[in-house]
Chain A
Amino acid sequence: AQRVTQPEKLLSVFKGAPVELKCNYSYSGSPELFWYVQYSRQRLQLLLRHISRESIKGFTADLNKGETSFHLKKPFAQEEDSAMYYCALSSGANSKLTFGKGITLSVRP
């Protein structure tokens, strides 16, 4: 069975501080990992995926198969980064997404 764990519910930082949102997964095969974001009063949307190996809005995430982790990082947080962040895992040809419980990021001025 596949599982995604986001150990923290809330992270509150000041503007300009570094951010790391933790995500661990369990899956026996080769997973595809994603971070989804939901800004206030907006729909859930894709932030980034590990196979793209790109930086979106200053965020990066590296898949660490040894530690089964996919932590989301940003060196300098901005107020507009305040949102709910979900880590998700996709497996198999059906592209079914399994989500973690999510973490609220609050960036204070």
Chain B
Amino acid sequence: EAGVAQSPRYKIIEKRQSVAFWCNPISGHATLYWYQQILGQGPKLLIQFQNNGVVDDSQLPKDRFSAERLKGVDSTLKIQPAKLEDSAVYLCASSPLGPGNTIYFGEGSWLTVV
């Protein structure tokens, strides 16, 4: 079974530039998550989609971060403009619909803002 795919794996940008990350979840998984993991911390949920609708975006910095999941499959996470504190690993994850299902993670996209 193919896992959660993410790209790019690594990105270095200057502050105030923009960046976009792409995620392809496991086929058939209705729920998609974007997590931010800053060095030395655990992953923090940014946004959760169920199909193409947003379930939770309470911790998404909406002034600079945006995410979409058109057609309820792939998703993109955008940061514009980036700040130094956005340097982190951005993890995409997916799970089947319903509570208690296992969440599967991608390998992550490493962002360094200089």
Contact = CB atoms under 8 A, between A and B. Distances in A.
A32 B105 CA distance: 18
Nearest to A51: B100
Contacts, number: 54
A95 B95 contact: yes
Contact of A93 (B43, B45, B99, B108): B99
B101 A96 contact: no
Contacts of B104: 45
Contacts of B102: 46, 49
Contact of B55 (A49, A94, A101): A94
A44 B42 CA distance: 11
A92 interface: yes
User: At the interface, is chain B mostly helix, strand, loop or mixed?
Assistant: loop
B99 A43 contact: no
Nearest to B101: A95
Interface residues of B, number: 27
Residue of A51, A94, A98 with highest tally of chain B CB at under 10 A: A94
Contacts of B41: 101-102
A86 B48 CA distance: 20
Nearest to B3: A43
Given A43-B3, A94-B55, A94-B56, A99 B42 contact: yes
Interface of A: 4, 6, 32, 43-46, 49, 51, 86, 88, 90, 92-102
Interface of B: 3-4, 31, 33, 40-45, 48, 50, 55-56, 91, 95, 98-108
